[in-house]
Structure 1
Amino acid sequence: MLVLTRKTNEAIQIGDDIEITVLSISGDQVKLGISAPKNIEIHRKEIYLSIQESNNEAASISLNLLDQIKKQSLNLK
């Protein structure tokens, strides 16, 4: 993990097209601004993990449904 110290209005550049700027610091909260291309999704980590969990559940349900359809089609023959 890279650890950097930044002050308000200072930025971090990631690659050619992602910039993270410290907008404000208040107590133990830091407000960040992120500039990135529209095709890059940006989420808070807890939201990202929730999306991943939902996707995994949906994939699991789809696989179970496919198994049921296969079994039913074999029974019809």
Structure 2
Amino acid sequence: MLVLSRRVGERLIIGDNIVITVIDVRSDGVRIGIDAPRDVRVNRAEVLEAVKQANLEAASADDDAVDGLRALRPPTPEA
């Protein structure tokens, strides 16, 4: 991991087209601005982790949930 010190208004450049600018420094955190092309996804790590966790919980159905869903299915016609 590269660790740099920056002051308000100073920038970092990643590759040819991503610019990170320090907007504000407060006692409880740092505000940064990210200028990147639209095709580059920029996400907060904690949001991605929360979505991943929610997906895991939704995908792990217990037996009662499965039985409840089966009860909603209409009966199949007998041959």
Please report the TM-score for the alignment, with normalisation by the length of structure 2.
0.64
Paired position in structure 1 for 2:29: 29
Matched residue of 2:5: which SS?
coil
What is the CA–CA distance in structure 2 between the aligned matches of 1:15 and 1:52, rounded to whole Å?
28
How much has 1:41 moved relative to structure 2? 1.3
Q: Alignment length, in residue pairs?
A: 63
Larger Rg: 2
CA RMSD of aligned residues (A): 2.3
Listed as ranges, the gaps of 5+ residues in structure 1 are 62-77
Listed as ranges, the gaps of 5+ residues in structure 2 are 62-79
From the superposition, tell whether residues 57 and 41 of structure 1 become closer, same or farther in structure 2 (CA, over 3 Å). Answer: farther
Paired position in structure 1 for 2:18: 18
Paired position in structure 1 for 2:51: 51
Please report the TM-score for the alignment, with normalisation by the length of structure 1.
0.65
